[in-house]
Amino acid sequence: MKKRLIAVGMLTAAACHSVKDADTAVTAISKGDTITLPAGAPLLNSLQVSAVESLPYRQQVSTAGTIKAIPTRYAEIAPPFGGRVTRSYLQLGMKTSPETPLFEISSPEFFAAQKVFFQEKSQLQQAERAWKRQQDLVAHGVGTEKDLEEVRTAYEVENKEYENALMGIRLFKANPDQLSLGQPLIVRSPVVGEVIDNKVVLGQFLKDDAASIATIADLSEVWIAGQVKEKDIRFIHPGDECDITIVALPGTALKGKVYHVNAVVEEDTRSVPVLVAVSNPSHALKPGMYATVNFMAAPTPALQIPTTALLQGSESPYVFAVTPDGKYVKRTVVTGSTQGDRLVITSGLKEGDRIVTRGASFLLDIK
């Protein structure tokens, strides 16, 4: 009985195999890279066919970058001249505008400039009085032209000396109209911003070659300095919008604009420095933070296919193109970037070509 059951099973399996082969032979014919599916073949129900389209595409280039303060909105304050700090107005977070007082120092150089200024101012006033007096004498027939010329020359010399002394005062950014002999030197802010670093100590002596003792910056807008490979720089233009993610601020998406594209390629990295301007009203972006910048080029037409249409061969990717007479032909393609669930095709297809966009893997089973 057991031997009889085994024999029946073998006959049944052989019969099923014969039916499957017969079904395949009827529904599909494979010859080289071409597969023919007759009308009504069951496999047709598993295939989706669409035309290749030319759609707007934005080339995306990504690079890492570092946040930095904008140089024209950033100032490190160093003592312009040596002296002792007699007063400080500085506080961390203090808002400043140009000419906001930061601290005062008693400076020997400033005191010497004051002395020269007041001396020259006094001598100029005396020379001016002497010249006017001599003009009056000549007008009344008492003075001589020779004496008038001498006092006029003396006045011009004193006036020049006074202008030099006045320039010396202005080097200290002091107002000569409000100057008094012996007053301390007031160091003022050169930019709008806020104090982000303060090392000033009341009573300390500062040398004229001392390093920065305070820093002022306006961080309401910052730059991201990145490097773009030379092969991709053609996609980057001033004014282009960028998507930005910050390592220290996960989940935060920011927008920026390309501010400047360097004119020179750096030889060691074969990259071009690019600056991106980013609004930073909350000051969440700190100089020194790392960022990722996604540059988005202007939209241009590009052939695109669904990613589900692409198959990977042993040497190159391909799709199944559908001919007007119902044949399915392997077509080698060259791919570009991916945009969502679509893939850019740079070679191998043209607009309007019909390809299998879903179920193409079923065709691989046909021998």
CATH of the domain at 44: 2.40.420.20
Q: How many CB atoms lie within 10 A of CB 59?
A: 19
Angstrom distance (rounded) from CA 283 to CA 286: 7
Percentage of the chain beyond pLDDT 70 is: 93
Residues 317 and 353 in one domain: yes
Q: What is the residue whose two structure tokens read 């107002």?
A: 175
φ, ψ of residue 161 in degrees (nearest 5): -65, -40
Look up the CATH number of the domain holding residue 280: 2.40.30.170
Q: What's the average model confidence in pLDDT over 145-164?
A: 92
User: Is 21 part of any domain?
Assistant: no
Query: Distance between CA 194 and CA 189 in Å, rounded?
Result: 10
pLDDT of residue 152: 92
Q: Note whether 237 and 266 are same-domain residues.
A: yes
| 294/331 same-domain check | no
Say how many C-beta atoms besides its own lie within 10 A of residue 150's C-beta: 14
Q: Give the C-alpha separation, 326 to 177, whole Å.
A: 95
Question: 307 and 240, same structural domain?
Answer: no
| Tally of helices (H runs) and strands (E runs) in the chain | 3, 25
The residue from 177, 200, 232 where one domain ends is 177
Higher-pLDDT residue of 91 and 17 is 91
Question: For residues 361 and 367, what is the distance between their CA atoms, to the nearest angstrom?
Answer: 13
Q: What 3-state DSSP class applies to 234?
A: helix
Alpha helices in the chain (DSSP H): 2-27, 108-139, 145-170
Q: Are residues 311 and 360 in the same domain?
A: yes
Alpha-helical segments (H) within 97-233: 108-139, 145-170
3-state class of 94 per DSSP? Answer: coil
57 Cβ contact list (under 8 Å, min separation 6): 299, 300, 301, 302, 304, 337, 339, 344
Task: Give me the pLDDT at residue 336, please.
Answer: 86
Task: List the end-to-end C-alpha distance of the chain, in Å, as a whole number.
Answer: 40
Residues 291 and 333 grouped into a single domain: no
Is this model's pTM higher than 0.85 or not?
A: no
**Measuring CA to CA, which residue among 181, 219, 171, 177 is closest to residue 197?**
219
Residue 14 lies in a domain: no
Backbone angles phi, psi at 242, to 5 degrees: -135, 150
Of 63-72, 85-94, 288-297, 349-358, the poorest mean pLDDT is in 288-297
| Same domain (yes/no): 279, 325 | no
What's the order of all strands across the beta sheet hosting 53-57?
53-57, 300-306, 342-347, 334-339
pLDDT at residue 366, rounded to an integer: 80
Distance CA 41, CA 33 (A): 19
Query: What's the number of domains the chain is made of?
Result: 3
pLDDT band at residue 324 using 50, 70 and 90 as cut-offs: confident
Regarding predicted confidence, which is higher, 13 or 364?
A: 364
Q: What is the CATH number of the domain that holds 146?
A: 1.10.287
Q: Which of 4-13, 25-34, 236-245, 342-351 has the lowest mean pLDDT?
A: 4-13
User: Are residues 290 and 225 part of one domain?
Assistant: yes
Position 3 scores a pLDDT of 36
Assign 58 to helix, strand or coil.
coil
Tens of pLDDT, residue by residue over 38-87, are: 878 888 888 999 999 998 887 778 899 999 999 999 999 988 888 999 99
User: What integer pLDDT is reported at residue 51 of this predicted model?
Assistant: 93
Rounded to whole angstroms, the Cα distance separating 327 from 230 reads 44
Q: How far is CA 254 from the centre of its chain?
A: 12
Question: Do 277 and 305 lie in a common domain?
Answer: no
25 pLDDT more than 60: no
317 inside domain: yes
Q: Are residues 276 and 309 in the same domain?
A: no
Same domain, 294 and 226: yes
Q: For 177-205, what is each residue's pLDDT tens digit?
A: 888 998 999 999 999 999 999 999 999 99
Residue 262 lies in a domain: yes
CA-to-CA dists, residue 183 to 80, 95, 171, angstroms: 16, 25, 15
Chosen domain end from 118, 151, 177: 177
Q: What is the arithmetic mean of pLDDT over 283-287?
A: 93
**Domain for residue 198, yes or no?**
no
Query: Is the CA virtual torsion 167, 170, 175, 178 positive or negative?
Result: negative
199 inside domain: no
The answer to whether residue 5 scores a pLDDT higher than 60 is no
The parent domain of residue 270 ranges over 62-72+219-299
Single residue among 177, 202, 230 that ends a domain in this structure = 177
Q: Are 154 and 163 in contact (CB under 8 A)?
A: no
Domain assignment of residue 212, yes or no: no
> Do residue 287 and residue 336 come from a single domain?
no
Choose among 10, 4, 55, 28: nearest CA to 343: 55
What does DSSP say about strands 311-312 and 300-306: parallel, antiparallel, or unpaired? Answer: unpaired
**pLDDT tens digits, 241-262:** 899 999 899 988 899 999 999 9
Contact 240, 298 (CB under 8 A): yes
